[in-house]
Structure 1
Amino acid sequence: MKPHGLSHAFSSGGPLWLGLVFFAVCAAVGWSYAFYVKWTVKSSRLPQREEYPRVQEDIEASGLYIDSFPGSVLLLDTLGALLQANQEAIAQFGDSIGAILRHPAARGALSAALRAEYSSDEHVPPVCSTTFTLDVPITRTMFVALRRIPGAKKQHDRVLVLLADRTEAHALDRMRIDFVAHASHELRTPLASLSGFIDALRNGGSNTDDAVRAQFLDVMAQQSARMKRLIDRLLYLSRVQAHEHQKPRTLVDVSDLMAVVLDEVAPRFEGEGYALKFDIEDELFIRADEDELVQVILNLIENALRYGKRDGHLLSVTLQARRAVPQDDRWPTENGVVLSVKDDGRGMEAHHLPRLAERFYRVADAVQTGRTQGTGLGLSIVRHIVDRHQGRMHIASAPNQGTACLVWLPPPNTEHGTERNTSSAGLVGSAEGDVI
């Protein structure tokens, strides 16, 4: 029998056997090379994205990773939607987080972070950062840093955001500049006066009359006291502005606050013969810095006593604390508390009212009352304190009919801010009619 072809090829050592062996070897080598190339390429790409999946899983699973950061940290998706915020961010920024993320500068930094390329040597994507001013609910200078966290797939990428409030640092820089400018301007007059009297005493020598010398020394003492008051007010104003962006959160009983004010001013009213009336409702509470609001009321009372006096008239000052009257269009809501200081003194013309909260602005005719001249900073301090409390201030006055200064403060259970008035603390006035 003739042997089968294949058996014959193997038995005879024919070329078919060699061809099959060669084909098998080539196939094995080819498959091995293809597997090697695929594994090499895959291994060279994965470290760029696989360094982070465990971090991302931890973030998305529990949020504990974000809360471990000491600062304010957010997690976004690639569309900029907020996925998570740590407790520090919520406590510091609250409802403002949305406004921060919607700001054009923050959106631009997000786009840059998502587009940023990096090599395998860099291991992590670069940080994209920006600084901008946020006006709502209160003016803040924000620093935002963003870094993309690669996921297993491109659509799984996340963006880690670090928020920092730089308002205080910027305010301190601005305060240093303003302090030097204002102090140098306002101190020039008393310093010139002191210098002139010193020269007069020095040049006059022993020939100077004792009465004249005493008069010179009195004026010098007054100018020195004025400089001290001015410096103290400027320093206090700088401190107020430095933390103006931090809304107070302490719950304050308005009755206790007013009791502190009355204890402070009652002896002065008794000593100078002025009438003091007060009307304080019970159960009024606000979120406030009590010391600052006491300063607000004291400044308003000081202005009433300093500029309200008129000849032949017993000045009367009324101190009130009450709930906001419904449908009062001067305030943003029907809730809240209104603190007011009203006098029946000389009043002022309407054109003064819009400028009363400007630094160093003084009503010219009111200065000529015989009292010690003020620094022109009292209402500026009031304005900044009211702004910090996210409140409003309204001033009404008319010649010979007195002046009414009202401060509205938001209720303690709400976050009022989006309607904040940024122009001169909401100063409004009237030049006619009974303002009391």
Structure 2
Amino acid sequence: MPGMMTAQVPAFDGQIPVWFTCVLGIIAAAGWLLAGIGLIRLRRQSDVFQPSDPLPLQVSPLPVDPFPGCVIVLDDLGYVLHANEEAVAQFGEGVSAILRHPAARSALSAALRARSSLSEGDELPPVCSTTFNLDVPVPRTLHLALRALPVRRYLEGRVIAVLSDRSEAQALDRMRIDFVAHASHELRTPLASLSGFIDALRGPASGDPQAREQFLEIMFQQAARMKRLIDRLLYLSRVQAHEHQKPREIVEVSDLMAVVLGEVAPRFGNSDCTLDLSVEDGLLIRADEDEIVQVLLNLIENALRYGRRSPEDPIAIILSAKRAAAMDDRWPKDGGVILGVSDNGKGIESHHLPRLTERFYRVPGAVDPAHAGTGLGLAIVRHILDRHGGRLRLSSAPGKGTNCQVWLPGADPALAQG
């Protein structure tokens, strides 16, 4: 057609160009060379990973899962490659954040330096460990131990870390230290008083009958204070000794309340203080009767000692027992019994309430130091309730009195009949 261009394509004559044949030969030679290198490397790997050699960690990190502790696998940069089930259960996704703590990073650097300084005959580098505190989300004390595994042929650097929570152990140690310090302080005060009055009776007051009678009365009070403190300490020790043994006796609450009334009746007979009793029928608990009686006596004693606005003011105390309301989320489960001791006294400021069960803790200025208790009553209550699987709930406000509620698991009436 007019205006169209045409091109002629040369016909194929059946001969392959020489340059194309050369290219195919080069490709084939390269393929054979790569195959030979692969066979050599495979043979070397079979020589390295014999059954007698340990399995390299990067092949499978799963062997750390059965360990009874929090085991974590890191690379040399500190990135978490694997955490076993125990570590995930205890620390969850917070493992990486924990390992970014400056103390943990310093321990990792020390572990890597220890590996790099290995001598030729050494098999494993030493363990590097550190203990540090975390403030969020809750205060915790953690211990971290790390060991950097040696780098071998075809094995990249790996670090094994073992993480443990030592918060409870440190808290117990702190409690023991505080207990010894407080106990020694509480005993030292009456001892110093006794020692001073003895010296006075042997010296300046030896010929003064009036001073002698006054000093002997004070010495008697101080000796009684020491006896109360020692008795409380011994009782607390006995409670803690069998705290792990759950009580098996079925106790009827009405009988228990009768024992309590018999104990406290003399305190209310000749005073302007009143005690009202409100007890539902048919309440049963599985408990050590003597210990629960001690719980209620301690709560009543606290109401009498600390509830008064002044020594002359009367105080009304209500001792009660009732079934816990169903579906009450304040208590562990349904079917429990609530024992209560409430008063209309001066009350306690709310910031003191969480510390009232600490040993030797007393609300500052609540009462004249000469008439203060040992500070062990509510600590004894807490340990007794821990043994019984019970709970203590305290509510108070200045000028509105104090309400103490003790929840205890209820017992099946059929067991009492049997």
Q: TM-score, normalised by structure 2?
A: 0.55
Change (3 A) 1:380 1:62: closer
* 1:97 maps to 2:97: no
* 1:355 maps to 2:348: no
Letter in 2 for 1:145: A
| Equivalent-residue separation in structure 2 for 1:367 and 1:260 (angstroms) | 36
| Equivalent-residue separation in structure 2 for 1:307 and 1:124 (angstroms) | 63
Range with bigger deviation, 125-134 or 95-104? 95-104
| Equivalent-residue separation in structure 2 for 1:62 and 1:362 (angstroms) | 50
Change (3 A) 1:262 1:126: farther
Letter in 2 for 1:320: A
Helix, strand or coil at the partner of 1:145: strand
Given candidates 108, 111, 115, the residue that maps to 1:112 is: 108
Give how far 1:232 is off.
Answer: 5.5
Letter in 2 for 1:52: P
Query: What is the total number of aligned residue pairs between the two structures?
Result: 345
On the 8 A contact 1:144/1:161 being kept in 2, the answer is: yes
Give how far 1:341 is off.
Answer: 2.9
| Equivalent-residue separation in structure 2 for 1:260 and 1:163 (angstroms) | 48
CA RMSD of superposed structures (Å) = 5.9
| Equivalent-residue separation in structure 2 for 1:338 and 1:60 (angstroms) | 49
Change (3 A) 1:324 1:99: farther
1:329-364 Cα distance to aligned partner (Å, 9 max, x none): xx49897968453234x51155x4433536443475
In structure 2, what is the equivalent of residue 3 of structure 1?
Answer: none
Helix, strand or coil at the partner of 2:203: helix
Helix, strand or coil at the partner of 2:404: strand
On the 8 A contact 1:307/1:367 being kept in 2, the answer is: no
| Residue segments in structure 2 that go unaligned for 5+ positions in a row | 1-35, 75-79, 270-274, 411-418
Letter in 1 for 2:123: H
| Equivalent-residue separation in structure 2 for 1:270 and 1:193 (angstroms) | 33
Helix, strand or coil at the partner of 1:317: strand
Change (3 A) 1:224 1:409: same
* 1:403 maps to 2:402: yes
On the 8 A contact 1:183/1:231 being kept in 2, the answer is: no
Give how far 1:212 is off.
Answer: 5.8
Give how far 1:405 is off.
Answer: 1.7
| Equivalent-residue separation in structure 2 for 1:349 and 1:311 (angstroms) | 16
* 1:168 maps to 2:164: no
In structure 2, what is the equivalent of residue 374 of structure 1?
Answer: 373
1:212-269 Cα distance to aligned partner (Å, 9 max, x none): 64553332121022134345656888999x99xxxx8876789759689647634312
Change (3 A) 1:379 1:122: same
On the 8 A contact 2:277/2:319 being kept in 1, the answer is: yes
Letter in 1 for 2:90: I
Helix, strand or coil at the partner of 2:195: helix
Q: TM-score, normalised by structure 1?
A: 0.54
Helix, strand or coil at the partner of 1:218: helix
* 1:82 maps to 2:83: yes
1:266-301 Cα distance to aligned partner (Å, 9 max, x none): 43124444544445885879xx99998876554323
Range with bigger deviation, 118-127 or 256-265? 256-265
Letter in 2 for 1:224: A
On the 8 A contact 1:392/1:409 being kept in 2, the answer is: no
Letter in 1 for 2:202: R
| Equivalent-residue separation in structure 2 for 1:291 and 1:123 (angstroms) | 62
Give how far 1:141 is off.
Answer: 3.7
| Equivalent-residue separation in structure 1 for 2:383 and 2:133 (angstroms) | 18
In structure 2, what is the equivalent of residue 53 of structure 1?
Answer: 55
Give how far 1:164 is off.
Answer: 6.4
Helix, strand or coil at the partner of 2:143: strand
Helix, strand or coil at the partner of 1:53: coil
| Equivalent-residue separation in structure 2 for 1:76 and 1:337 (angstroms) | 43
Letter in 2 for 1:98: F
On the 8 A contact 1:275/1:316 being kept in 2, the answer is: yes
Change (3 A) 1:261 1:199: farther
On the 8 A contact 1:77/1:157 being kept in 2, the answer is: yes
Change (3 A) 1:97 1:260: farther
In structure 2, what is the equivalent of residue 197 of structure 1?
Answer: 197
